[in-house]
A and B are shown apart, each in its own frame.
Chain A
Amino acid sequence: MNREEFIKKSLLLGVGAAYFPSIFLVCQKENGDSSAASLNYDGEVLIIGAGAAGLMAAYRLAQNQIRFRVLEASATFGGRVKKIQDFADFPIDLGAEWIHDEPTIFRDMIRNDQVDGSIDLIPYNPSEIKGWRNGKLRNHSFFSTFYSEYKFKSTTWYDFFEDFIVPTIGLNNMTFNSPVNEIDYSGNRVSVTTTNGTVYEADKVLVTASINVLQGGLISFMPALPQSKINALDEFYMPDGLKVFIQFSERFYPDMLLMQGLFSMLSDESEEKIYYDAAFKKDSNQNILGLFTVGPVASSFTNMNTEQELINAILAELDEIFEGKASHTYQKHIIQNWSKEPYVRGSYNFEGTSSAISEMLKGVDGKIYFAGEAISTSVQATVHGAGQSGFYQMEELVK
């Protein structure tokens, strides 16, 4: 069961009242059929950001032969979807990893009956779950019954976009290493300036930069955004986020190790810290332990000055839990500190109310639009939620 289902069922049991705002958002989920309305627009669109929202927006424009260009700050597409191919004997998602919905989401994202193919997934229901609290390792394996999601078997979220979405967009329609620092929409057309001084012009602009980039003022708007938009933006909270993968010569850890109480994990989604067997059900002979953490509990790691300091702290923590086995069997690691990614600056979003999301979805002067996981009306904080946000925002944009 994924988190969404869990919340629904918890409500049925009367124990999930705290999740009501999430349920409200889930109820607004977009139609999941395989068709999408065709769009007509003669103007040119600039999409800022080649993460899931930007890519899916570009994909829809490409499907409808609408002129567009994607400006991406970093050297590749994906945003918080990122992979490393050669760390282990299977590709590893350094960013978004889990699939928090049914496998039909791939059809719902691709929405093209001409595209044929399949994706192998792992039904992700770790059976050995332990918790570390107050200096004791506790067995939480009963929780396995409540928890089930999906992961990619031998590919990644990045591969999904690379294989099924980007070919339709065309790499030649994306410009990389182009961080945008100014959007001027005072004239008839919108002028977008990058940090290297290049100016792009378009009739309409879709901004898919992360909430922390927008809240941090990395992009200035001319004229300033309306106060209602600024107020809505301030409602979102995008905490620190970190992923670490460590290879060990032996496996000494469970399928999943919760570093907080079960109740606190379920009641406060904005803080999470888990170690997990990254090779769980993968075709792998290696022992790869993943660390996924977001929220204030992640900040103690993300604020460390050096990678060595960080990995030492993690190994020390694991040594305390597993009686020194971590340091003894350590082989190598890779760290993805999302808080220190200059064009991301955090993990994903919490606390955006439905009114804030509605406000963010409104166009500014009919020229500036926003999309992203934070303002998804289907599922916040997910790749497919981000993708659907970009995909559907194009309908608003071309009006």
Chain B
Amino acid sequence: MVKRQFFLPLLFLFPLITHAQNKLQLTDISASYFAPFAIYDIGAKAGVGFSYWKWDQIKTKKERSKTVVHQVYFEPQLAYFGNRNYYYSLLANLETGWKWQTQGNKSYSSLSVGLGYLNRSEALTLTAHLDGSYSVAEWENRPAFLPSLNYRWGIQLYRSFGLYTGLSYAYQIYFQHTNAGLLFFELGVCYALSQS
């Protein structure tokens, strides 16, 4: 009910909605390279997408009309990223957003907000052996919340398979350490389980 109220104003933004449905539906699974600032740290993310609310919108421009398919979705995700010898982070995240795709176009876009629980394991001591080997000897766990704002652009290469890229700005809110922003870059593959 709350979600409906939240998205109700969206209805007025669209000139004509031809078809709408409210149904929870598993839509896709995705896996991606996912890292703060693209290459400085490395990581991976996997998610499962659920469509919650879908509607079509007919847009007319210069006597030509096209249908844009909108959906409100949410996506639980698990991610890992880190920098060997310094830290690694595990993230459980939930994104909720709005995805739109023009019928006939292979590309789509989405905007979403996320809220995650992050556990950053910080290396406190690294032992360097004189034979050249080294390993982290002491870790410290640093839990944090991670709200985020996300943009994704994707393209369906085949009927069920697509690629996507995305940018996310997230803010690490630590319980006991200094808060800091992060800009994530994402490049992934997506497999559609049902047609949207």
- Contact A142:B180 (CB < 8 A) given known A104-B134, A107-B132: yes
Taking the nearest CB of chain B, how far is it from the CB of A99, in angstroms?
9
Which chain B residues border A127 with CB–CB below 8 Å?
A: 177-178, 180
Does B46 lie at the interface of the complex (its beta carbon under 8 Å from any beta carbon of A)? no
Which chain A residues border B17 with CB–CB below 8 Å?
A: none
Interface size class of A (residues with CB under 8 A): 35 or more
Q: Give Cα A34–Cα B87 distance, bound, in whole angstroms.
A: 28
* Cβ < 8 Å to A, chain B residues 133-149: 134, 136-137
Stretch at the interface among B35-43, B72-80, B100-108, B151-159: B35-43
Does A363 lie at the interface of the complex (its beta carbon under 8 Å from any beta carbon of B)? no
Do B37 and A146 touch (CB < 8 A)? yes
Stretch at the interface among A51-59, A115-123, A219-227, A297-305: A115-123
Does A113 lie at the interface of the complex (its beta carbon under 8 Å from any beta carbon of B)? yes
* Cβ < 8 Å to A, chain B residues 109-143: 123-132, 134, 136-137
Which chain B residues border A153 with CB–CB below 8 Å?
A: 125
Does A1 lie at the interface of the complex (its beta carbon under 8 Å from any beta carbon of B)? yes
Do B127 and A13 touch (CB < 8 A)? no
* Per-position 1/0 for B163-192, Cβ under 8 A of A: 000000000000001111111000000000
Does B196 lie at the interface of the complex (its beta carbon under 8 Å from any beta carbon of A)? no
Does A230 lie at the interface of the complex (its beta carbon under 8 Å from any beta carbon of B)? no
**Smallest CB gap from B174: residue in A:** A127
- Contact A145:B178 (CB < 8 A) given known A106-B128, A121-B125: no
Do B125 and A145 touch (CB < 8 A)? no
Do A120 and B126 touch (CB < 8 A)? yes
Do B131 and A113 touch (CB < 8 A)? yes
Does B86 lie at the interface of the complex (its beta carbon under 8 Å from any beta carbon of A)? yes
Q: Give Cα A123–Cα B84 distance, bound, in whole angstroms.
A: 10
Does B22 lie at the interface of the complex (its beta carbon under 8 Å from any beta carbon of A)? no
Q: Give Cα A9–Cα B181 distance, bound, in whole angstroms.
A: 20
Do B40 and A1 touch (CB < 8 A)? yes
Do B124 and A122 touch (CB < 8 A)? yes
Do B178 and A128 touch (CB < 8 A)? yes
Taking the nearest CB of chain A, how far is it from the CB of B94, in angstroms?
23
* Per-position 1/0 for A78-113, Cβ under 8 A of B: 000000000000000000000000011011101001
Do A123 and B37 touch (CB < 8 A)? no
- A1, A103, A146: the one within 8 Å of B128 (CB): A103
Which chain A residues border B136 with CB–CB below 8 Å?
A: 123
Does A125 lie at the interface of the complex (its beta carbon under 8 Å from any beta carbon of B)? yes
- A128, A141, A145: the one within 8 Å of B41 (CB): A145
- B40, B130, B137, B180: the one within 8 Å of A117 (CB): B130
Q: Give Cα A120–Cα B86 distance, bound, in whole angstroms.
A: 14
Do B182 and A142 touch (CB < 8 A)? yes
Do A34 and B132 touch (CB < 8 A)? yes
Taking the nearest CB of chain A, how far is it from the CB of B67, in angstroms?
40
Do B127 and A125 touch (CB < 8 A)? no
Does B85 lie at the interface of the complex (its beta carbon under 8 Å from any beta carbon of A)? yes
**Smallest CB gap from A146: residue in B:** B40
Q: Give Cα A150–Cα B87 distance, bound, in whole angstroms.
A: 13
**Smallest CB gap from B140: residue in A:** A281
Q: Give Cα A281–Cα B36 distance, bound, in whole angstroms.
A: 23
Does B60 lie at the interface of the complex (its beta carbon under 8 Å from any beta carbon of A)? no
Does B25 lie at the interface of the complex (its beta carbon under 8 Å from any beta carbon of A)? no
**Smallest CB gap from A121: residue in B:** B126
**Smallest CB gap from A117: residue in B:** B130
Do B126 and A122 touch (CB < 8 A)? yes
Does A74 lie at the interface of the complex (its beta carbon under 8 Å from any beta carbon of B)? no
**Smallest CB gap from A281: residue in B:** B124
Q: Give Cα A86–Cα B83 distance, bound, in whole angstroms.
A: 34
- A115, A121, A254: the one within 8 Å of B127 (CB): A121
The 7 closest A-B pairs by CB, nearest first: A103-B128, A141-B180, A128-B178, A107-B132, A103-B134, A123-B123, A123-B86
Residues of A within 8 A of B (CB): 1, 9, 12-13, 34, 103-104, 106-108, 110, 113, 115-123, 125, 127-128, 139, 141-142, 144-146, 148, 150, 153, 164, 254-255, 281
